[in-house]
Amino acid sequence: MQNVPGFLWKLGQLNHVAIAVPDLEKARSFYQDVLGARVSKTVLLPEHGVYTVFVELGNTKLELLHPLGKNSPVTGFLQKNKVGGMHHICIEVDDIKAAMAHLKEKKIRILSEEPKIGAHGKLVIFLHPKDCNGVLVELEEA
């Protein structure tokens, strides 16, 4: 998809849209019973501080996130957005280290010094929302 000459890495597909929800069962029911989507069982990701339900949309998926334990990354978001809301988008890249070098050159702040292991067991980074038009952007090495 990425066709700009001089890039040493390629942007890929939209991996998921993450939605933080105050009530996971209610959110699951909305996607399953109201919209008729195929949804997963609840997946516990204690190392990421979230319960997750995946909503399959064919070309990509939604990830419903609910806080698990203290220090969950979605607790603060839900305090500000009590009914829930869109939390981040995740786009795939082919080479996360090359992407990081390019982002640093472009003065885009990355929220960690090194990539972390994300919810899918792959390397991820998050970009500062203020440098991305108010959107928390996750890049995942596909």
- 14 Cβ contact list (under 8 Å, min separation 6): 60, 89, 90, 91, 92
Which stretch in 10-18, 43-51, 68-76, 112-120 sits in contact with its own copies by CB under 8 A?
10-18
- Between β-strands 137-141 and 85-93, what pairing exists: parallel, antiparallel or unpaired? parallel
Burial class (CB in 10 A: 0-12, 13-18, 19+), 112: exposed
With residues binned 3-state (H G I as helix, E B as strand, rest as coil), the percentages for the chain, rounded to 5, are 25, 35, 40
- CA dist., res. 10 & res. 30, Å (int): 35
Considering beta carbons, is residue 31 or 68 the nearer one to its own copies?
31
Residues 91-130 that bind its own copies (CB under 8 A): 91, 102-103, 106, 108, 129-130
Residues 30-69 that bind its own copies (CB under 8 A): 30, 32-38, 56-60, 62, 64
Q: Does 79 bind its own copies (CB under 8 A)?
A: no
Q: In the bound complex, what is the minimum distance in angstroms from residue 26's beta carbon to its own copies? A: 7
- Contacts with its own copies by CB under 8 A lie at 1-4, 7, 9-14, 17, 19-23, 26-27, 30, 32-38, 56-60, 62, 64, 81-86, 89, 91, 102-103, 106, 108, 129-135
